[in-house]
Amino acid sequence: MELRHRSFDHARLIYFDPDGLRREVERHIGLSHGQAGEITKVGEGGFNRVLLLTVQDGFEAIIKIPYQLAGPRYFATASEAATLQFLYSKGIPVPQLYGYSSSNKNSAVTEYISMEKAAGVGLESRWLEMSKRERHKLASDFVEIETKFFNLPFQSTGSIYFKADIPPDLQAPLYDEASIHSKTFCIGPTADYMFWRGKRTSLDIFRGPWADPCSYLMSIAQKEIEWVRQYGKPLKLDFPHNGSTPGEVSPEEYIHLLEKFLLLAPYVLPRDSDNPLNQPTLRHPDLNPNNIFVSPDSGAISCIIDWQHTTAEPCLLVAGHPRAFENLDIKQSLDLKEPSLHSDHNTPSSGKGRS
């Protein structure tokens, strides 16, 4: 266990030149705000270290530096930067991109993204005190944002990149028809973490883009088959937890199961490629309250952050509600009536075995 923790900590180590990082930010925002000054750590995310850089006149910029465990830092950084720029141009409330480097060949000696500091306050700090009207407005804002996503006519499954960052043979057009964005952006290899997690980074596999939705499904299984063949080990059964059925699952059994999935893959999605359920659709990969900022006054959405690993996938595969609106109740009202507290909820219980 200690060795595992050490390995995890090592994967979170990052090295950068603070003065070099200041120069990089100055290069992106110019010197009209003065010289870049103090750098402070805002937080340690699951895949990035987040820093706040304050410039001479008080101007602030957020800097994200990916850990090693973020997957291929080149694709993770290049894709998130392009996604931010693309969504910002579409009127989606995301941080403005100031600049980025998808390689460590710069004065900061690290990959990074420099962006606008999110306006507003975190939704997790406001949710419990929001009125019904404010929550309704928040949900309505999400519907409007999601509508914009579903109306984007992407033609391939994969992640968004600046064309300058991706070799021509790994580029697919952004849309079927030429547009102003098609000159700058393209769909490239997926930045989805499941294709890069752990030793999957070293696999010689196809990671997109995919014009055919069925091919995308098959690539998911083929990726796992290749990983198991190279690194698979017997896995101890952990269900049920009482140990009544001890034993192990061999890598061969897992491969056999994945091969069955390959036979089913052509039937998972509609076979008509023009079916709306096959339309490549962009959605936030982790829309939880920590990634949503709202106005402290109105409660309206002011910014949505953390677009790392975002991928456009077939609509049917990304269907679902945002985690920010999950109802954790075990029993849910079939007629959607508002729940109410029991009449004696403030009365201490006297029943045995109750608390």
Query: Residue 329 contacts by C-beta under 8 Å, 6 or more apart in sequence?
Result: 339
What single-letter amino acid sits at 34?
Answer: G
What is the structure's pLDDT at 5?
45
Is position 81 within any domain?
yes
Distance CA 111, CA 108 (A): 8
Distance CA 245, CA 258 (A): 23
Query: Residue 109 contacts by C-beta under 8 Å, 6 or more apart in sequence?
Result: 15, 16, 17, 20
Distance CA 70, CA 35 (A): 31
Q: What is the pLDDT along the chain (355 residues), one digit of tens a residue?
A: 444 445 446 677 889 999 999 999 999 999 888 899 999 999 888 899 999 999 999 999 999 999 987 778 999 999 999 999 999 999 999 999 999 999 999 999 999 999 999 999 999 888 888 888 888 888 899 899 999 999 999 999 999 999 999 999 999 999 877 777 888 999 999 999 999 999 999 999 999 999 999 999 999 999 999 999 999 888 877 655 545 556 778 899 999 999 999 999 999 999 988 899 999 999 999 888 899 999 988 888 999 999 999 999 999 999 877 666 666 555 666 666 666 666 665 655 444 443 3
Is position 252 within any domain?
no
In this structure, what are the phi and psi dihedrals at residue 45, rounded to the nearest 5 degrees?
A: -85, -175
Q: Which of 284, 27, 315, 266 is nearest to 153 (CA)?
A: 315
Is position 348 within any domain?
no
What is the structure's pLDDT at 353?
41
Is position 236 within any domain?
no
Buried b (16+ CB within 10 A) or exposed e, 57-72: eebebbbbbbbebbbb
What is the structure's pLDDT at 239?
58
Domain CATH number, residue 149: 3.30.200.20
What is the structure's pLDDT at 112?
98
Is position 349 within any domain?
no
Which contiguous run of DSSP H or E holds residue 6?
Answer: helix 2-11
Is position 221 within any domain?
no
What is the structure's pLDDT at 235?
80
Sign of CA dihedral 327, 329, 332, 337: negative
What is the structure's pLDDT at 335?
64
Is position 294 within any domain?
yes
Is position 19 within any domain?
yes
Angle between helices 251-264 and 213-231 (to 10 degrees): 170
Q: What is the biggest distance separating any 2 CA atoms in the chain, rounded to whole angstroms?
A: 72
Contact 315, 277 (CB under 8 A): yes
Q: Which of 174, 176, 120, 38 is nearest to 296 (CA)?
A: 120
Task: Identify any residues that bridge with 65 across adjacent strands, giving them in sequence order.
Answer: 49
Token pair 């804002």 in the structure block, residue: 141
Length of the chain: 355
Count CB neighbours of 122 within 10 A: 16
Can you point out the beta strands (E) in the chain? 36-44, 48-55, 60-66, 97-101, 112-116, 121-122, 159-162, 185-188, 235-236, 248-249, 280-282, 292-294, 301-304, 312-314
What is the structure's pLDDT at 247?
72
Q: Please give the distance of CA 82 from its chain centroid, rounded to a whole number.
A: 14
Residue-number span of the structural domain to which 45 is assigned: 2-212+273-324
Count CB neighbours of 162 within 10 A: 18
Total domains, the chain: 1
> 320: which 2 tokens?
């679902």
pLDDT in tens, 17-53: 999 999 999 999 998 888 999 999 998 888 999 999 9
Distances from the Cα of 175 to the Cα of 87, 157, 186, 279, 321, angstroms: 15, 11, 8, 11, 26
Contact 53, 60 (CB under 8 A): yes
Contact 174, 185 (CB under 8 A): yes
Distances from the Cα of 107 to the Cα of 15, 49, 56, 101, 104, angstroms: 12, 18, 20, 10, 8
Which contiguous run of DSSP H or E holds residue 215?
Answer: helix 213-231
Q: Which of 79, 80, 97 is nearest to 88 (CA)?
A: 97
